[in-house]
Amino acid sequence: MKNSLAVLFAALVLLLPLASCAPKAEGQATSLPAATEQPTQTSAETSTSREEASTEEDRSSFLSLLGITEKTVPFYEYYDDDGALQLELYYDTAKEEGVGIYYGTYLYEVSAASFLVGAAEKTVWIDRKYLITSEHKDNDVNYFSTLPNYKENSANNKQGKPTMFHATMSAEDGYGGTFTRDLIKITWDYRDDGTLRHKNKVILDDGYRGSERFYYDSKERLVYVNAYITSGTLEDYYIYQGISKTPSYRLTLHHGFGPTAVQEFVKY
């Protein structure tokens, strides 16, 4: 890498800008030019900075110190529902390394953080948008269905697509009576044209992804997931190549009580 480690870490503590107001993009992914230099640190040398955003000039300086110019096309960008830039990723697929910048709100504070991304682990993609399972929670229903007095209730819209799933069980209240306990609640929300917009899932007493909100683009491709865990929040970003209906990558970020960090980077 062109810059020394000292210069890189100096860059990591620069103030970063607020998210720009560019038009919303739907999981767009393009390749980096081969000549673009990328950070070469190991995963142990990830970002240690979370600072309030400053000016666009600060952002330009930050990218420059990482060997990234304003003309460099990001490998991936994600814009939130308000059209604000939430994540950008510069990644070299040949070298299998890159750097990402997260702009967002955590613990009610507007902040920005950088992180390094290494080689992706291979895994298998399954489209679960209309299933009651999710990529990280496939075994929930299998387990809950073995509990005593397990019951399911579901509903579909006029197009035959699911709108609700509710799993419950009866449990003793300790006073000789029983009460109904919620196990899984899922709702599906649709756009006016009938395409899926959101899927919301809540699981009983689960500290790992106990609640998940799934976001879908106009082609009903899963593009983003926000999940609760006891140590903070997980965000899944699904990266597509062109018009493919199958994601090429998933980047999972962990926002806890320390700096933003990459929890997982996979390739489908």
DSSP 55-80: -HHHHHHHHHHTT--TTSPPSEEEE-
- What are the tokens at 30? 């393009």
Within 8 A by CB and 6+ apart from 4, the residues are none
Mean pLDDT, range 51-77, rounded to an integer: 70
Higher pLDDT, 15 or 114: 114
Report the predicted TM-score, pTM, of the whole model to 2 decimal places. 0.77
pLDDT value at residue 44? 29
Mean pLDDT, range 104-117, rounded to an integer: 72
For 57, phi and psi rounded to 5 degrees?
-65, -40
145 — pLDDT class (breaks 50, 70, 90):
confident
Mean pLDDT, range 47-59, rounded to an integer: 45
Question: Start-end ranges of CATH 3.90.930 in the chain?
Answer: 140-267
Mean pLDDT, range 89-118, rounded to an integer: 83
Name residue, tokens 């081969």: 34
Please give the Cα distance from 12 to 115 (Å, whole number): 9
pLDDT value at residue 7? 35
266 — pLDDT class (breaks 50, 70, 90):
very high
46-55, 152-161, 248-257, range with the lowest pLDDT: 46-55
- How many CA atoms within 13 Å lie on the side-chain side of 214? 26
According to CATH, what is the number of the domain 140-267?
Answer: 3.90.930
